[in-house]
Amino acid sequence: MSTVRANFQVAPLSRVLMIVEVALPILLLVLGIYHGFVQTLYRAGIIQSSSFAGLGYYQGLTLHGVINAVVLTTFFGVAFGNAVMQYYLRQPLFPTVHLLSTGLMGIGTLIAAVPMLLGLADVLYTFYPPLKAHPAFYIGATLLVVGSWIAFFGWIPLIRRWMREHPGQPIPLAVLGMLTAFIIWFACTIPLAIEVLFMLIPWSLGWIDTINIPLARTLFWFFGHPLVYFWLLPTYVVYYVMLPKEAGGKLYSAPAARLVFLLFLVLSIPVGLHHQYTEPGFERFWKGLHALLTFGVAIPSFITAFTVAASLEHAGVQRGATGLFGWIWKLPWFDANRPIVAYSLAGLLIFILGGLTGLVNASYNLNQTIHNTGFISGHFHMTVGGPVFLIILGLSLELFSQLTGKPVRGRGWNIAVPYLWALGLYIFSPAMMIGGLLGQPRRTNMGLSYLDPSSPHFRLDWVVTSYIAAIGGAIMFLAFLIYVGVWIATIAAPAEKPAGLLYLSTAESLHSDVPTTSIMAKLRPWLAIAVLLIIVSYWAPLRQAMRTPENAPPYAPDNPTPAIQVKK
């Protein structure tokens, strides 16, 4: 992997489609992030109302979750995957496949957006039945997912061809990372598809009266935890492949990076029951097994922490650092021409707390104190809202700049964004987490009850943390506004380079890469273990969920009587 790589010229159609893939979610984010900030105001009792500026609290929260955590991450996964495949495999994408995939994703997003904006889908981004949304919500989401599958299917022949033409070489690390991300995504969206296609859509259309709720939830979380690795792995690819180079060094160990991706493949799916510790109907043994496996899937993240730190240390030493911690100060934290470094380092600082609090959530009985409290939202804003979000912001702008040939304008402002975001987050998230430990529920418009001094349910002990969370939220909102300003300045600037020249900086490995004969250069054995673990860990819980004595009819979120007449 030591060859210096040239730019890759993206074909005209793919260029336009990729611009849509990065720009559309950023546009939607304006609404998504705005409502994040407004949520902190409701939750502090600064807004005491069921809606504000035309959006209901739960309507806006649905948009916040769907846009930020589903639309943005899926579009970016596909856009970055498209960039990685073209750049490292040095082949163009299939134009029709690309058009179909991006088209379905875009149309699906629009179809799902309509009921959300009309207030016909106030079911939050987890859409737990028996709350029911308008069928268009589920159908749009399905098209979005299918579009992302098609992008993935289109990469497989390119990878195969590269392998045929490069015998004796392991596939490029970035390709392996994106491939594992999408294998995980494809595998885990199958249970989701079963829930949505065979349960929710027919039920929301009134074709079936009732569905099995524990089963639907189990299928959802079968998908829901691997989903977070689909969010995380593109970020890890950037940390392993681009960051060490941009920081001025090498990747400490490519074999360790490969091992990390393969371990995620094996361990990221059989862990979903850790979202259901507090639910009835599963024997404790299975909850415990999922807890154990969840601890297992923490190992690749520990290796990542180690490898990334070692790579950064190497970079610092290359830059003349001495002493045990001297390398930290030698890194180009504030180099406006290396925004990836700023976006990565700020994300890594956030991830320290995000990762550790994740272990708390995973800890079986410890989860009893924090499940569904503000602790959980505090935690995941330091993962998906931290490193993942910052890498998405940083790279979306970079890709947009390369695809249009327009240089990024406001470079100094650009690198201020991640640090300001990290500052806001280090205020917002701990406040949410301490609030959670004091018992604040998540997913709650607290301004109408707990944070309203005239309500009988007023909780004085929750006031301080809710206000601090709002201050943190305001700083994060400000960081995002600056980011939008950088985008606008960049769009307004004239192109200075030919459009569509892709360039991804690529670090060499300090330790030599694995030989192709090694088990770490193969995929099949790992896939086999993954399938085995999934069967072992999910067979019994799914059967236990299927034993549920009663099914449930659908409900609209604002009406306590069922949306259909159930024949008894």
Partner 1 sequence: MERIALMLASGLLGLFFLALLAAARLQGINVPPCLPPEVKPFSEGRVDTLPDGRRQVFYVARMWRFEPEVVEVPVGKPIDVFLSAADVTHGLYVSWTNVNLMAIPGAVNAYTFRLEKPGVYPIICHEYCGSAHQNMVAYLVAK
* Catalytic residue ranges: 225, 229, 379-381, 442-443
Helix (H) or strand (E) holding 265: helix 254-267
What is the smallest separation between the CB atom of 464 and partner 1, expressed in angstroms?
16
Nearer to ligand HEM by Cβ, of 249 and 387: the residue is: 387
423 forms part of the interface with partner 1 (CB under 8 A) = no
Which of Cu ion, ligand HEM, partner 1, none has residue 279 at its interface (CB below 5 to 8 Å by kind)? Answer: partner 1
Distances (CA, A) of 253 to 233, 309, 314, 505: 17, 11, 11, 17
Residue nearest to ligand HEM (CB): 36
Contact 150, 102 (CB under 8 A): no
d(CA 518, CA 211): 47
d(CA 224, CA 381): 16
Distance in angstroms between the alpha carbons of the first and the last residue of the chain: 67
Which of ligand HEM, partner 1, Cu ion, none has residue 459 at its interface (CB below 5 to 8 Å by kind)? Answer: partner 1
Which of partner 1, ligand HEM, Cu ion, none has residue 69 at its interface (CB below 5 to 8 Å by kind)? Answer: ligand HEM
For residue 513, which phi and psi values (nearest 5 degrees)? Answer: -75, 170
Distances (CA, A) of 405 to 20, 25, 222, 493: 15, 20, 42, 10
Helices (H), 363-451: 367-370, 374-381, 389-404, 411-437
Distances (CA, A) of 510 to 177, 315, 492: 19, 11, 41
What is the smallest separation between the CB atom of 385 and ligand HEM, expressed in angstroms?
4
In the list 163, 298, 423, 474, the residue contacting partner 1 (rule: CB under 8 A) is: 298
What is the smallest separation between the CB atom of 458 and partner 1, expressed in angstroms?
10
Give the x-and-dash track for 107-146 against partner 1 (CB under 8 A).
---------------x-x---x-xx---------------
Chain positions contacting ligand HEM, by CB under 6 A: 33, 36-37, 39-40, 43, 61, 64-65, 68-69, 124-125, 377, 381, 384-385, 389, 428, 442-444, 473, 476-477, 480
Q: Which two tokens stand for residue 466?
A: 């809710």
In the list 34, 87, 221, 450, the residue contacting partner 1 (rule: CB under 8 A) is: 450
Window 458 to 497, contacts with partner 1 (CB under 8 A) = 459
Q: Tell the residue number behind the tokens 């862990």, with chain if given.
A: 271
225 forms part of the interface with Cu ion (CB under 5 A) = yes
Q: Which residues contact 89 (CB under 8 A, 6 or more apart)?
A: 158, 159, 161, 162, 172, 175
217 forms part of the interface with partner 1 (CB under 8 A) = yes
224 forms part of the interface with partner 1 (CB under 8 A) = no
Of the candidates 16, 27, 174, 184, which has an alpha carbon nearest to the alpha carbon of residue 93?
16
Which of partner 1, ligand HEM, Cu ion, none has residue 385 at its interface (CB below 5 to 8 Å by kind)? Answer: ligand HEM
Which of Cu ion, ligand HEM, partner 1, none has residue 96 at its interface (CB below 5 to 8 Å by kind)? Answer: none
Helix (H) or strand (E) holding 202: helix 201-204
Give the x-and-dash track for 370-389 against partner 1 (CB under 8 A).
xxxx----------------
Task: Please give the residue ranges that form the binding site for Cu ion (CB under 5 A).
Answer: 225
